[in-house]
Amino acid sequence: MELDHDFTVPVPVDQAWPVLLDVERVATCMPGATLDSVEGDEYKGRMKVKVGAMTITYRGAARIVSADNSSRTVTLEASAKEARGSGTASATVQARLHEEDGTTRVTVHTKLNVTGRPAQFGRNILSEVGSKIISRFAKALAAELETSGEPAPGAGAQADAEAAATSAKPEPAPGAEAKPEATAGKAEPADKPGPATADVVTPLPDAAPERPAEAPQRPARADRPLRVAREDDAIDLLEVAGPSVAKRAVPAVGGLVGLLLVLRFMLRRRRRSKKR
Amino acid sequence: MTVQEGGVQEGRAGAEIGSPRKRSEDARLIAGRTQWTDNMTPQGTLHVAFLRSPHAHARIVRVDASQAMGRPGVVAAFSGADFADEQGSLPCAWPVTDDMKHPDHPPMAVSEVRFVGEPVACVVARDKSAAFDALDEIDIDYEPLPAVLNMDAALAEGSDLVHDDLGTNKSYTWVFENGDLDAALRDAPVVIEREYVQQRLIPTAMEPRSVLCVPDGDDFTLYSATQIPHILRLMLATVTEIPEHRIRVVAPDVGGGFGSKLQVCGEEVLALLLARRLGRPVKWTESRSEGNMTVHHGRDQIQRLTLAAERDGRIRGFKADILADMGAYLMLVTPGIPILGAFMYNGIYKMDAYSFTCTGVFTTKTPTDAYRGAGRPEATYAIERMMDELAAELGVDPIEIRRRNWIAHEEFPYETIAGLTYDSGNYEAATDKALELFEYDKLRAEQADRRDRRDPVQLGIGVSTFTEMCGIAPSRVLGSLSYGAGGWEHASVRILASGKVEVVTGSSPHGQGHETAWAQIAADRLGVPFEDVRVLHGDTAISPKGMDTYGSRSLAIGGVALFSACDKVVEKARRVAAHLLEAAEQDLEFTAGRFSVRGVQEEGKTLQEVALATFAAHDLPDGVEPSLDSDATFDPENFSFPHGTHLCAAEVDTETGMVHLRKYVAVDDVGKVINPLIVEGQVHGGLAQGIAQALYEEAVYDADGNLTTTTMADYLIPSAADLPTFTTDRTETPATSNPMGVKGVGEAGTIASTPAVVNAIVDALRPYGVNDVPMPCTPERVWRALRSETKPDTAEPGAGGGLGSASASGSDSDSAGGAQ
Amino acid sequence: MIPAAFDYARPASVDDAVRVLADAGEDAKVLAGGQSLMPLLRLRLAIPDALVDVGRIGALREIRDDGDALVIGAMATHHQVIRDPLVREHAPLIAAAAETVADPAVRHRGTFGGSLAHADPAGDLPAVALALDAVFLVRSVRGEREIPATEFFVDWMTSAMEPDELLVGVRVPKPGPGWGVHYEKFHRTAQAWAIVGVACAVRRNGGAIEEARVALTNMGPAPVRADGVENAVRGRPVSEDSFRSAAEHATEGTEPPGDLHGSPEYRSHLATVLTSRALAAAAV
């Protein structure tokens, strides 16, 4: 399925851009995500999606395949396998930033492919699960921005994220009949470099605006599993990656972060349609 | 073969035949005190679980089963590659055209997967749980390939291909033409065009598939929940090259099939190969969600239809252009299923010209194949929906439009435009009876009243006057259609020394009640008590010859073979009896199981006495073998043609789109009836299944090719609570193609009911400008149909909806009915 | 399919149960009637480490009169609830909705508390609990707490209970006399989930609606209280017009899901139609 979404974060483009490129940092906002290792430009990890009685754990990898500073466009590829089960999830996510009055609107085009049990139900478990993840993610992202900034439109960001969270719900893809159509604005001009009024936020730790491809360049730190999620209900710190995990993650582009971006952006789409 | 003429009167005059006996097998089946395949677990049985493709289409890059091997209880784990040299290709026995594209179909995928659910690897373990758990440890890398889901797109130039090596997604195009259709389309004042979609259905037998293979040296006994033990045995031998006489196939009690078990499944082949490789019994039983993905599906056709008619309603010509979804592979009779409909698009009607073109298309979905009715429901739906469209177009009552076109009872036998000879029937009688039971005029009056009152709940009346070709058999006809086998059926009758009777049939029941009906036939023909007859079936070692059960053929073919074998027994016994009674054979009469000299009733010999004398063989006439046992194989000259008139009244809530079936009348003519209770049961079940297509069931794939209806929460099967009380009745014109006059009833209800229901819904909505609701007619689809075409003020209430604007072209392109 | 392996405990008392839950950690699940959980286990959508089977705790099946309220034990089966004279007298809306749950086999095994704790927005009872201002009685080793229905249903299949908490019962205020109730369930087959459901209680005063309580099933990730409808119909005469115009507010605050059985748009339409019908039926 292909999806288009947009999303606004309360920071100027110049500050949002490096955040988006910092996979590790984005991943910290994702409930249930654990980054296991970084090898070259490939981030490997797990994501445990837990909703009510249901649990699905994915293992996989993601990498940024291109980052164009001039058009503020970043493309991620991710793929993952279920830790228990034969299903897979893969995504190609293209995100582009637009300056809007000191904030940043992000437009995202996503190709998402989910297989296996979660895709085999009429009640669209993934979209339900996705919306839940997004709510958490949006809150976490807002909090992240708030704590790392100074004066910050912190409260505003929080409220915005709350609103987004409560309205989060991807459009359904009711079976064979309706392909999820792209509702969000297409072909947003990459113009408006926008005056970065950036009085705000985030002294971004190790990602500088000038070095958008910084994350991919970071050296491998294979030694860590690091816990990055802050929501405690959907993460399993003690879970030991099975012997096949490393192998599973090897073939290419993988997983979680791409998926989470996808899910994150679903929320915006919904919100827009509600405004109409 | 020849069949001796003679009515049922000669035996024990109808004591059994025609009697509504309760089915003798039911106590056993219902209580579960029986042998379902999964109930059998011989010592040392290993259990198989299959890992299945999560992708609609992908290349298999790497399969690593080594971790699975290390799991507790696991005996072996295999990928498709491990069996590549011996698993062969699953058979397709119906190459419908010479140039049909027929891809390889390995039972376990080796290099590429082409539908979600295709087996990729398997684990064999000491118990079922261990096998299932170990599946998680098999690591597979796939390289996803594009899913191919839409038939029109699949046929377009440059489409992604399901099978790269074929160079096309088209399997075949099969054409039948008769009469000058071009002239009919050109000259007729009324031409109606419509497109209907026969949605994909999932046959839902109560018992899931299950197979157990027990090796014994070089011999193998394969137990399977199958409809076709005999065909399966031959096909297993062909695929695996294990000699046919080394394989015994047993279909123990089988819990339903509806065509889904008319198949040679990859899992059956693999069970055999695994048993051979491991030297131990292996068993596999599917789960419901596994079955929904992998049991072959039914229907899935797009029908583009054109009907040309005179202004008085007389049909000039009919054209059917069909796209039929084969799914990813051709299975046993996949390509032939839509072709079975080719001879039925004309229905019960006379016309000048007919054209049928069917293109089989590959997609990355579960393969399709036979499902109750197989080709004929689709055809019947098309013509019966179109007859209602014609009625509406002309402002004529839908019953009347049919009267003007159907074959009158005095015209039988009648050669149809599709080249079949309908041997018998009386459409007038069935229709008159149905109208009376339905109280047609009263309901039409109520409909008019609701229309006048603008009642939010509108009433619609649907008509279906159908026929079908069943008793799928005539070997010569099947040969002319390139079918890979004949269609005869075999029976033998063994008279035991005590006078008890064993009937052996090649028909393989899976819920139909053969054990009762066959015993009734034998009891009548032989004049023995019903209880003295035992029916044996479903085991190639016990019943070595057979063509199995599908296409409503059991009674019309297998039943007739039994009838005939019984008569042979009586003739053999007659010689012995004549000898014992010291009379001439021609002076003996056989009544109620007893031979007596004509006019001297007090002297006689019962069949049992004759049987004992034959067994003792002390005093047999010269040249007579000491056996009364007899065989017969029946191969008819023609199909049989059950018909009937079904009427459905549907209440449609125009605010919500909900459809409530208010009344359903089915009058069926299935020829002579052996057991009216079984016939009624078949009609009830058939109606439920046909109504289910109209209202509830649909296999839905998402845009990536995932099947989203893997559970019964999403694939909706109606229960008795959702269905109206059926009013069923019968008329009877005996078939002339067999001596019993029977026709077959297994599929009639399914074939007839779907168009009756949809016709009723559309009839209710015609004043709103609706002329179609796509199946299944869900509340939302009905609502959308109403919403996009709501113009009640311009509609004229009337019997058929009567928009009556038969323009010169008359064609109507809004066939989608606005609903999606 | 076969569930993944799990530890199994069958405590004999509520105290034991909460102790087991506390020890089992967050990946334990409570097994009540099993009518929702078992399918999830078999499909391996749920892979808990441990199942805590509370089926043998007889005390949880009790339905008792608690003065101005009714307390329904979490393990009372739907069948039991439907037939219970206290429920029929003081919470007929619960009986009416429970009667529409799935099929008789499910109603005999499925439990009142289990289906509420499962918090499936397509379930019939959550909306009813919301409409009736029910209070959820929850226990853990940390003690007992009460969660009002408005706070209990947090999100899609997610309740406000912590993993170590056990739902022991639900307190339903007795509404007093004069209430008419109706549960309008819209579903395609008898045993299917509601595409949309409307739980409705109406108190009349002569020819006028004095008070109404309306909540919606499957119109969002959690059941939705239709405040807009309740406000709009209050004080209005009992008439088709009143119900229709009040029902126009039914979609306020909803986020209907889209799935095989209905699009969000269709669900919104249904909510309006069904709310009007439910009001009319309850006001009779």
What digits encode the pLDDT tens for the residues B127-148?
Answer: 999 999 999 999 999 999 999 9
> Which residue from B minimizes the CA distance to C2?
B129
Mean pLDDT, all residues of chain A: 59
**B780 contacts C263? CB cut-off 8 A:** yes
What number does CATH give the domain B37-145+206-256+261-294? 3.90.1170.50
How many distinct structural domains can be found in chain C? 3
Sheet holding C196-205, edge to edge: C179-186, C196-205, C208-217, C224-225
- Smallest CA-to-CA distance from B202 within B701, B658, B727 is with B701
In angstroms, the separation between the Cα of residue C34 and the nearest Cα of chain A is: 12
Taking residue B809's Cβ as centre, other Cβ atoms within 10 Å add up to: 11
Taken in order of first residue, the domains within chain A and their CATH numbers are 2-275 (3.30.530.20)
Does residue A122 belong to the interface with chain C, where contact is any CB pair within 8 Å? yes
Residue B794's pLDDT band, with cuts at 50, 70 and 90, is very low
pLDDT of amino acid A144: 64
Interface residues of C toward B, Cβ cutoff 8 Å, are 1-2, 4-5, 39, 42-43, 103, 186, 188-193, 195, 260-263, 266, 269-270, 273-274
Does residue A198 belong to the interface with chain C, where contact is any CB pair within 8 Å? no
This complex has an ipTM of 0.96
- Which amino acid is it at A177? E
No. of helices (H) and no. of strands (E), chain A: 7, 8
pLDDT of amino acid A197: 30
**C156 contacts A53? CB cut-off 8 A:** no
> Which residue from B minimizes the CA distance to A176?
B702
Last residue of a domain, one of C53, C71, C88: C53
pLDDT of amino acid B391: 98
Residue B234 scores a pLDDT above 50: yes
pLDDT of amino acid A107: 80
User: Is C228 a domain residue?
Assistant: yes
Residue A185's pLDDT band, with cuts at 50, 70 and 90, is very low
**For the residues B806-813, what does the mean pLDDT come to?**
34
Q: Are residues C122 and C195 in the same domain?
A: no
**A90 contacts B144? CB cut-off 8 A:** yes
Cis ω for the linkage preceding B413 (within 30 of 0): yes
Residue A39 burial (10 A CB sphere; 0-12, 13-18, 19+): middle
B151-187 pLDDT, tens digit per residue, is: 999 999 999 999 999 999 999 999 999 999 999 999 9
**B696 contacts C188? CB cut-off 8 A:** yes
Q: From the list B128, B709, B722, which residue is nearest C2 (CB)?
A: B128
Q: From the list B287, B719, B780, which residue is nearest C190 (CB)?
A: B719
Q: From the list A1, A243, A247, which residue is nearest B704 (CB)?
A: A1
pLDDT of amino acid B793: 40
Q: In chain C, which residues have pLDDT < 70? A: none
The pTM of this model reads 0.88
Give C4's contacts in chain A (Cβ within 8 Å): 84
**C186 contacts B658? CB cut-off 8 A:** yes
**A86 contacts B140? CB cut-off 8 A:** yes
Range list of β-strands (E), B202-288 = 210-216, 219-224, 247-250, 282-285
**A171 contacts C118? CB cut-off 8 A:** no
Interface residues of B toward A, Cβ cutoff 8 Å, are 51-55, 61, 64, 67, 116, 135-137, 139-142, 144, 149, 289, 293, 700-704, 706-711, 713-714, 820
Residue B7 scores a pLDDT above 60: no
Residue B746 burial (10 A CB sphere; 0-12, 13-18, 19+): buried
Q: Is B59 helix (H, G, I), strand (E, B) or coil?
A: strand
Instruction: Kindly give, in sequence order, each residue whose CB lies less than 8 Å from that of residue A12, ignoring residues fewer than 6 positions away.
Output: A99, A102, A103, A104, A194, A196, A197, A198, A200
pLDDT of amino acid B1: 37
Bridge partners, residue B597, by sequence: B588, B600
Q: Are residues C64 and C169 in the same domain?
A: yes
Give A171's contacts in chain C (Cβ within 8 Å): 258, 264
Do the beta carbons of residue B751 and residue B376 sit within 8 Å?
yes
**B128 contacts C43? CB cut-off 8 A:** no
CA of B654: how far to CAs of B462, B762, B764, C244, C273, in Å? 17, 12, 9, 16, 11
CATH number of this structure's domain B8-34+488-634, picked from the four choices 3.20.20.370, 3.30.479.10, 3.30.43.10, 3.30.365.10: 3.30.365.10
User: Is C1 a domain residue?
Assistant: no
CA of B417: how far to CAs of B175, B322, B645, C265, in Å? 14, 18, 21, 47
B558-579 pLDDT, tens digit per residue, is: 999 999 999 999 999 999 999 9
pLDDT of amino acid B684: 97
Mean pLDDT, all residues of chain B: 93
pLDDT of amino acid A208: 36
**B142 contacts A123? CB cut-off 8 A:** no
CA–CA dist B117, B112 (Å, integer): 13
Full residue range of the structural domain in which residue C149 is found: 60-173
Range list of β-strands (E), chain C = 7-9, 28-31, 50-53, 63-66, 69-73, 135-140, 143-148, 153-155, 158-159, 166-173, 179-186, 196-205, 208-217, 224-225
In angstroms, the separation between the Cα of residue A241 and the nearest Cα of chain C is: 17
> Which residue from A minimizes the CA distance to C257?
A172
Residue B799's pLDDT band, with cuts at 50, 70 and 90, is very low
In angstroms, the separation between the Cα of residue C266 and the nearest Cα of chain B is: 6
- Name the helix (H) or strand (E) containing B638: none
pLDDT of amino acid A138: 60
**A248 contacts B136? CB cut-off 8 A:** no
Asked which of B23-37, B80-94, B250-264, B295-309 is least confident by mean pLDDT, the reply is B23-37
Q: Are residues C164 and C201 in the same domain?
A: no
Q: Where does CATH 3.30.365.10 sit in chain B?
A: 8-34+488-634, 372-471+638-794
B74-114 pLDDT, tens digit per residue, is: 999 999 999 999 999 999 999 999 999 999 999 999 999 99
Q: From the list B135, B137, B708, which residue is nearest A175 (CB)?
A: B708
Q: What is the CATH number of the domain that holds C109?
A: 3.30.465.10
Last residue of a domain, one of C138, C173, C208: C173
Q: Are residues C165 and C124 in the same domain?
A: yes
Do the beta carbons of residue B643 and residue B348 sit within 8 Å?
yes
Q: Are residues C40 and C78 in the same domain?
A: no
**B779 contacts C189? CB cut-off 8 A:** no
Residue A128 scores a pLDDT above 80: no
pLDDT of amino acid C1: 76
Q: From the list C42, C189, C266, which residue is nearest B783 (CB)?
A: C266
Asked which of A210-219, B81-90, B396-405, B501-510 is least confident by mean pLDDT, the reply is A210-219
**C122 contacts A172? CB cut-off 8 A:** no
Helices C264-283 and B779-788 cross at an angle (nearest 10°) of 100
pLDDT of amino acid B801: 32
Domain B372-471+638-794 matching CATH 3.30.70.270: the answer reads no
**B133 contacts C5? CB cut-off 8 A:** yes
Do the beta carbons of residue B224 and residue B249 sit within 8 Å?
yes
Q: Pseudo-torsion of CA B151, B155, B160, B161, nearest 10°? A: 90
Chains touching A (3+ CB pairs < 8 Å)? B, C
pLDDT of amino acid B79: 97
Chains touching C (3+ CB pairs < 8 Å)? A, B
> Which residue from C minimizes the CA distance to B699?
C260
Do the beta carbons of residue B281 and residue B45 sit within 8 Å?
yes
Q: Are residues C183 and C199 in the same domain?
A: yes
Q: Are residues C240 and C198 in the same domain?
A: yes
pLDDT of amino acid A162: 39
**B142 contacts A88? CB cut-off 8 A:** yes
Residue A248's pLDDT band, with cuts at 50, 70 and 90, is very low
In angstroms, the separation between the Cα of residue A80 and the nearest Cα of chain B is: 11
User: Is C2 a domain residue?
Assistant: no
Q: Where does CATH 3.90.1170.50 sit in chain B?
A: 37-145+206-256+261-294
Of A21 and B509, which is predicted with more confidence?
A: B509
No. of helices (H) and no. of strands (E), chain C: 12, 14
Does residue A60 belong to the interface with chain B, where contact is any CB pair within 8 Å? no
Do the beta carbons of residue B179 and residue B317 sit within 8 Å?
yes
How many residue pairs bridge chain A and chain B with CB atoms within 8 Å of each other?
A: 78
Question: 3-state DSSP: chain C helix, strand, coil percent, rounded to 5?
Answer: 35, 30, 35
Q: From the list B700, B717, B780, which residue is nearest C262 (CB)?
A: B780
Q: Nearest 5 degrees, angle CA B361-CA B150-CA B177? A: 40
Give the pairing of strands B726-730 and B659-669: parallel
CA of B432: how far to CAs of B169, B407, B437, B729, B731, in Å? 47, 15, 9, 12, 10
Asked which of A107-121, A228-242, A253-267, B308-322 is least confident by mean pLDDT, the reply is A228-242
User: Is C214 a domain residue?
Assistant: yes
Of A268 and B343, which is predicted with more confidence?
A: B343
B411-453 pLDDT, tens digit per residue, is: 999 999 999 999 999 999 999 999 999 999 999 999 999 999 9
pLDDT of amino acid A251: 29
Give C48's contacts in chain A (Cβ within 8 Å): 53, 55
pLDDT of amino acid A155: 37
User: Is C154 a domain residue?
Assistant: yes
In angstroms, the separation between the Cα of residue C149 and the nearest Cα of chain B is: 27
Give C40's contacts in chain A (Cβ within 8 Å): 53-54
Do the beta carbons of residue C93 and residue C128 sit within 8 Å?
yes
Instruction: Give the count of alpha carbons within 13 A of B413, CB side only.
Output: 14
A139-174 pLDDT, tens digit per residue, is: 676 666 555 443 333 333 333 433 343 333 334 333
**For the residues B273-302, what does the mean pLDDT come to?**
97
pLDDT of amino acid A28: 76
Distance separating the N- and C-terminal Cα atoms of chain C:
47
In angstroms, the separation between the Cα of residue A116 and the nearest Cα of chain C is: 11
User: Is C92 a domain residue?
Assistant: yes
pLDDT of amino acid A169: 38
pLDDT of amino acid B473: 80
